[in-house]
Amino acid sequence: MTEDRHYRMPRVLKDEDDLHPSNPTSGATFQDVASIRFSRRAALMGLLATSALTAVGAAVGPLREAKAAAGPSSLQFAEIPHGYDAEFHVAEGYEAQILLRWGDKVLAGAPEFAPGKLTADGQAKQFGYNCDFIGYLPLPAGSDNSENGLLFVNHEYTNPHMMFPGFSDAKAAAAGTTAETTAIELEAHGGSVVEVKKEGGAWKVVDGSKYNRRITLNTEMEVGGPVAGHDRLKTSADATGKKVLGMINNCAGGWTPWGTILTGEENFHQYFGGDPSGTAEAANHKRYGLKGEPSYPWGKFVDRFDATKEPNEPNRFGWIVEVNPYEPDQPPVKRTALGRFKHEGAQAVVSADGRVVAYTGDDERFEYVYKYVSNGTFDPAAGFANSTLLDDGVLHVAKFADDGNVEWLPLVHGQGELTEANGFKSQADVLIEARRAADLLKATKMDRPEDIEVDPKSGKVYVVLTKNDKRKADQVDGVNARADNKWGHIVELTPPAKDGKADHAATKFAWDIFLQAGDPKDAAQGAKYGGEVSESGWFANPDNIAFDPKGRIWISTDGFPDFGVHDGVWAADTDGAGRAITKHFVGCPRGAEMCGPVFTPDGQTLFVSVQHPGEEDESNFDAPTTRWPDFADGVPPRPSVVAIVKKGGGEIGS
């Protein structure tokens, strides 16, 4: 199947970008292919012989052994087949509860969802479009309550031809954009916070909860860190450079040890029209893919989306945004110390010595993997005051060597190439142009870094690389080992141990390939799993991941429809005999990608996002290819959050 099998508006632009990736440098060291080995586990064992990570992992040892005796995988569900149809599928014995649909009430005064009759005021109070990342935060804060909590959900982008009647496809909808549709789409972006409760085995939204909240492209936000107040962030609407309206294209995310959400602004370039080439920011905007030909022609109606009129406005997007769902009146903060690029998401953990480390990837072909290390240390008693740790620290970028080591290179103004001679006058410049800084450090160009998560059981870090079919044979390196990588892979990083804990702040880790996706029956694809996978156990295009309480990995996909198969969820053990043997648990309705997998602390609920159902060629509001989840005449498909539970209760996958 070809890449353009589905005509998907933002994807179309994405694919055009992919033809011309915005990283022009040739600095990456493409190494001797012959020296590349698939598994470095043996070397790793030597490197970490005294690793306490192993000891942490041993906490689940007995269970693993018991399961291993029964078969290679510890996952106890009957796999669903590959398929492609209008429905949502989950393994037998499980129940999929539709929890929140686009247009559902979030705030008091929200109108009933009325297809074809949307209003901006109504959308501002309703659940937004294209749900992506989901964070589950227990109530009360700091508890492990698995039956009452807050869901934070991203609304990544809008599909106007699926939201409004009368447009044959995405191009027609873009051409038909008006001030009114623009206003609605601004409110359909951002995020939602809702209180949710499980009663009698059924999840529901708590109507009228004081926590329920919409964050949109019109929500006032603060800027934190070294870039706050910088001239390059000042616009006609904001002379301070410290107040931004809204967040954009928020894809994945994570959480902090103090109970806040980190959400990643991804493809912000799609929203800015005008001609940036004539401005002082021309080179900067080019590196980030602004071409003056946005998917969303909002700049015709709202000046800040016209980069000729407001050349600094794009510099106010592309950040990690921190949101405190427990405090609905607290403004979100753009944490600029974590750098500006097309963030998939960010996940923060406490390192061995108490410093906070946040992993974050730049999701474009040939872009980089980053981590941020705070200067100060986490104080469990300090609550939200810990968030200043995200304003004072060092951003690093990853350089993978073929010997199984990865080095984290600091992006610090004045060090190495990051000087005024190269156009960086301060740390703010380094952070605004993090991509160019990373180019100069000759970081490793990756196959589209998506989610990066830490297995809480083992302390190992998993980097999801969704695909890169533009990588040529002479661009293959150890960690991106396939040319024309249509299928994606997952890299496992092992931090060294310090005082019995994972030293996430260390500058040198070991790496291994966890799996290479694709169909193992076709040797030419070079797929590699931990052992034999079933007929439906193989997959392509991993995007987001989650870990269950046993430390097993649950992988959601974005792109498998290009191979004629629904996107969905596949799960695997991360160690033992079932390591990297994936099993198929969930399948999406046609046209959708699967996002946001997250477990409640007890492992008994898996929340997932079904994003852009029916986003296919020939599909539109009036004649969609699926009407999931309502299946009612006149009602278009609705991106929705689904809660998956085991019938009769119990841990998922056990």
Q: For binding to Ca ion (CB under 5 A), which residues are involved?
A: 132, 156, 251, 543, 558
Q: Which of residues 450 and 616 has its CB atom nearest to ligand FEO in the complex? A: 450
Decide: helix, strand or coil at residue 43. Answer: helix
Degrees to nearest 5, angle at CA 37 with 34 and 39: 175
Contact 28, 442 (CB under 8 A): yes
- Least separation in angstroms between residue 331's CB and Ca ion is 25
- Which among Ca ion, ligand FEO, none contacts residue 266 (Cβ within 5 to 8 A by kind)? ligand FEO
Q: Which of residues 251 and 437 has its CB atom nearest to Ca ion in the complex? A: 251
Q: Which of residues 364 and 503 has its CB atom nearest to ligand FEO in the complex? A: 364
- Which among Ca ion, ligand FEO, none contacts residue 183 (Cβ within 5 to 8 A by kind)? none
Query: Closest CB to ligand FEO belongs to which residue?
Result: 251
- Least separation in angstroms between residue 407's CB and ligand FEO is 25
Q: Which of residues 496 and 559 has its CB atom nearest to Ca ion in the complex? A: 559
Contact 457, 251 (CB under 8 A): no
Question: What's the CA dihedral at 437, 27, 371, 550 to 10 degrees?
Answer: 160
Q: Which of residues 340 and 343 has its CB atom nearest to Ca ion in the complex? A: 343
Q: Which two tokens stand for residue 203?
A: 């999840």
- Least separation in angstroms between residue 160's CB and ligand FEO is 18
Decide: helix, strand or coil at residue 287. Answer: helix
Q: Which of residues 263 and 351 has its CB atom nearest to ligand FEO in the complex? A: 263
CA dihedral (53, 398, 291, 432) positive or negative = positive
CA nearest to 551, candidates 440, 422, 651, 458: 458
Q: What is the CA radius of gyration of the chain?
A: 23
Q: Which of residues 251 and 515 has its CB atom nearest to ligand FEO in the complex? A: 251
Q: Which two tokens stand for residue 574?
A: 């991360």
Q: Which of residues 232 and 638 has its CB atom nearest to Ca ion in the complex? A: 638
- Least separation in angstroms between residue 251's CB and ligand FEO is 3
CA nearest to 248, candidates 302, 320, 324: 320
Q: Which of residues 118 and 251 has its CB atom nearest to ligand FEO in the complex? A: 251
- Least separation in angstroms between residue 203's CB and ligand FEO is 25
Q: Is 3 exposed, middle or buried (0-12, 13-18, 19+ CB in 10 A)?
A: middle
CB atoms within 10 A of CB 371: 25
Contact 598, 606 (CB under 8 A): yes
Q: DSSP strand E in 257-335: where?
A: 261-265, 320-323, 333-335
**How is 612-653 classified by DSSP, letter by letter?**
STT-STT--SSS-S--TTT--TTPPP--EEEEEEETT---TT
- Least separation in angstroms between residue 131's CB and ligand FEO is 12
d(CA 253, CA 190): 12
CB atoms within 10 A of CB 425: 12
Residue 126 DSSP code: B
CB atoms within 10 A of CB 259: 18
Q: Which of residues 162 and 356 has its CB atom nearest to Ca ion in the complex? A: 162
Query: Closest CB to Ca ion belongs to which residue?
Result: 558
Contact 358, 252 (CB under 8 A): no
- Which among Ca ion, ligand FEO, none contacts residue 575 (Cβ within 5 to 8 A by kind)? none
- Least separation in angstroms between residue 437's CB and ligand FEO is 21
- Least separation in angstroms between residue 13's CB and ligand FEO is 13
Q: Which residues bind ligand FEO (CB under 6 A)?
A: 156, 251, 266, 344, 363, 450, 543
- Least separation in angstroms between residue 447's CB and Ca ion is 12
Phi-psi region of 154 (alpha: psi -120 to 50; beta: other; left: phi over 0): beta
- Least separation in angstroms between residue 653's CB and ligand FEO is 25
Degrees to nearest 5, angle at CA 322 with 362 and 606: 80
Contact 476, 33 (CB under 8 A): yes
Q: Which of residues 132 and 562 has its CB atom nearest to Ca ion in the complex? A: 132
- Least separation in angstroms between residue 266's CB and ligand FEO is 5
